[in-house]
Structures are given as structure tokens and as C-alpha cells.
Chain A
């Protein structure tokens, strides 16, 4: 990629699914551990029935637990991991905005095999990131084709 020392700024959107550990581990493998940072982003999609800055305590608590776990995982890999929770109407634009603001070099998006009306689909988020991300995007599917 850009230099043989590896990447230094990687953004990993997470959602508390089983894939989070995998993609964070992957990110930690790919970066230069001495001078790099991996941002872990947990986006809470707030329904329009609520104001964007509404207090969504259950979701926030869940996000905090997810981030805490992932920061711990990063530490065990001796990788600098910083977590952040964001409230947005849609995850896609929020993630892209963060990637731009942080000048990320790589985005790693986890996905599981899904079917929609009987046809395989990547859902809404992954295609959005593929279309609008300012940097490279890596799409990762976990070990099992269908999530447990």
C-alpha cells in the first residue's frame, strides 16, 4: 500500500456483532503498530421520531460496552485503538464524514451473508461505503456464511 511501513490511520465501523473482533484484529495486523492508530466507530442510528441529539441511554450503554471490549482487544494486540460513539440518522454518511475528517487511509467494513427477498444482498451500508468512501475500503465476511 502507501508505504512499506504499513498503514497509519484505519477506521473500523463496528456494530456489536460477532464480526467486530475479526475486523479489529485484521486492522491491527495491517497497521504499523508503533506509529499508527485504529479508530473504532460505533454509530447509533436515531429514528426520526426522536431528535438527533436525544438521549438514547440503552443504545449508548451498549455502544460503550462494545467499545470498551474492543479497546481491550486492541491493547492485547499492542495496537493503539480509540473508540467513539456517534449519533446519526444513517450510519453510511456518518462513517464517510468521519473518514474524511480523520483523513483515514483505510476503512474496514464487516458484513455477513444476507438475503433480501430471496436474493443475496450487501445491505445498504456496504454499497454506500463503496460508493462514497474517500479512502480504500476492505469488505470482510466472517467464517460462517450465515451468522448464528
Chain B
């Protein structure tokens, strides 16, 4: 694949290394001259010291034959514009943006960014167990975010452990979809399936029912 990476900060740097070792052709566009020079010391002539949101720069970087553009700067505005220029001026098949402000994620997707990765949401998802009372993690917004697919992690010692899932009473407008066991394998709800510690329950819920759903599934609260 031919990949254009915009921004060579921490994310861009490690991404570039990984992409190169995966055998991809990579070009990195970094606006900061000093940072570009440091990157060139390691990566050589794949570094372009310029502004990746400018159409002429992307054109010279070969955006027309590029398979994926990934914009990794710390600024959402820069990442959005790089992706929009890549998509609408050069028809890059896949454009990916790193998003700092999670509120921007749905907007970026509406505007044609194929993947908007929110670093904040990623970190929160990994911290789910540490954050008290917010055991509901968003996986995917549905229907313009009126409902979402969420994941509920069942902590050890939850009162609901051992209960039969198909008999569980959940709030109106919500539904349990599937359970992912500690072994990472999905199990269908029903057939007498019992809730176990460490299970991840995948469910569908509107935002205002999240807390209620969490209490229903874990028996806590």
C-alpha cells in the first residue's frame, strides 16, 4: 500500500515505523522544520517538510495514487482539512483522522472521514474498569446517535453473577445482544446462559438509559 502520513509527532512517528516494517510505501508530511529534520535523520527522504493540508503539497506527495491518508497531528482542524483535501481533491480511497476532541467524531464521519480515531475515547475504553460508575463503554453510535452499541464489563463480585441472562429485566428501549466471555468468544443470550465475572455484555441503548442498564446487568448501584 501507499500511505501518506500527515504529522510526525509521537503518533505519526510510531505509525510510520510500523507501516514501513509492514512493507508499505510511506511518505510523511511534517510542517515543523525541526521535527521534519529529526525524522529525516531516521527515515530518510520519505519526509516532506511542508503543510499536509495544502492541496499542492499533497499533490506532489503523490496523493493521486495513494491508498490511505492518515492525519495524526494534535490539531483536529488540521486533521480534518488534510482528510477533506485528500478525499475530495484526490479521491484517496481511505482517509483516517486522529481526533482529540471526542465530540468531533460524528462530525468527521459525516464529512467523509472514513475512520475518526478518538485518542481520548481509546484511553477511556482501556480505563473502563478503573473509572467508577462508568462501566458502559460506547462502541458504535446508531441512528444519528439516538441509540448506541455499548459494552458493559461485569466486574468480579457483581451481585448479578450467576443470574440467567435471558431472564434479566432490562429497561425499556434497550436490548442485550451478545455476551463475550473472558476467553474472548461470543455466546448467544438464551439457552440458560449464566452471567460470569469478567463477561462483557454487548447491548443496545439510548444514552439516557445507560446507567439504568448498567445497574440491571451488573446488579450494582
* A residues adjacent to B (C-beta < 8 A): 47-52, 88-90, 92-93
* Alpha-carbon distance A145/B82, docked complex (angstroms): 44
* Alpha-carbon distance A52/B45, docked complex (angstroms): 12
A47 and B62: CB pair below 8 A? Answer: yes
* Alpha-carbon distance A93/B2, docked complex (angstroms): 21
For the residues of B in contact with A, the DSSP-based class is helix
**Interface membership of chain B positions 43-84, coded 1 if the CB is closer than 8 angstroms to chain A and 0 otherwise:** 011100000000000011110110000000000000000000
For the residues of A in contact with B, the DSSP-based class is loop
Partner of A93, one of B44, B62, B64: B44
- Whether B27 sits at the interface, judged by CB under 8 Å, is yes
* Alpha-carbon distance A22/B64, docked complex (angstroms): 41
* B residues adjacent to A (C-beta < 8 A): 2, 25, 27, 44-46, 59-62, 64-65
A89 and B60: CB pair below 8 A? Answer: no
* Alpha-carbon distance A49/B64, docked complex (angstroms): 7
* Alpha-carbon distance A19/B60, docked complex (angstroms): 29
B4 to chain A, nearest CB (A): 9
A48 and B61: CB pair below 8 A? Answer: yes
B65 and A49: CB pair below 8 A? Answer: yes
List of A residues within 8 angstroms of B2 by Cβ: 51
A50 and B45: CB pair below 8 A? Answer: no
Ordered by A's residue number, 16 sampled pairs between the chains whose C-beta atoms are within 8 Å are A47-B60, A47-B62, A48-B60, A48-B61, A49-B60, A49-B62, A49-B64, A49-B65, A50-B62, A50-B65, A51-B2, A51-B25, A51-B65, A52-B25, A89-B46, A90-B45
Q: Which residue of B is nearest A96, CB measured? A: B44
B221 to chain A, nearest CB (A): 57
Q: Which residue of A is nearest B48, CB measured? A: A48
B45 and A93: CB pair below 8 A? Answer: yes
B27 and A48: CB pair below 8 A? Answer: yes
* Alpha-carbon distance A51/B65, docked complex (angstroms): 9
B62 and A89: CB pair below 8 A? Answer: no
A100 to chain B, nearest CB (A): 13
B184 to chain A, nearest CB (A): 39
A89 and B25: CB pair below 8 A? Answer: no
A49 and B45: CB pair below 8 A? Answer: no
Q: Which residue of B is nearest A45, CB measured? A: B45
List of A residues within 8 angstroms of B45 by Cβ: 88-90, 92-93
Partner of B62, one of A48, A88, A92: A48
List of A residues within 8 angstroms of B27 by Cβ: 48
List of B residues within 8 angstroms of A92 by Cβ: 45
List of B residues within 8 angstroms of A51 by Cβ: 2, 25, 65
B55 to chain A, nearest CB (A): 13
List of A residues within 8 angstroms of B65 by Cβ: 49-51
Can you list the 6 inter-chain pairs with the closest CB atoms, starting with the nearest?
A: A48-B62, A90-B45, A49-B62, A89-B45, A93-B45, A48-B61
List of A residues within 8 angstroms of B44 by Cβ: 93
* Alpha-carbon distance A89/B47, docked complex (angstroms): 11
* Alpha-carbon distance A90/B45, docked complex (angstroms): 7
List of B residues within 8 angstroms of A50 by Cβ: 62, 65
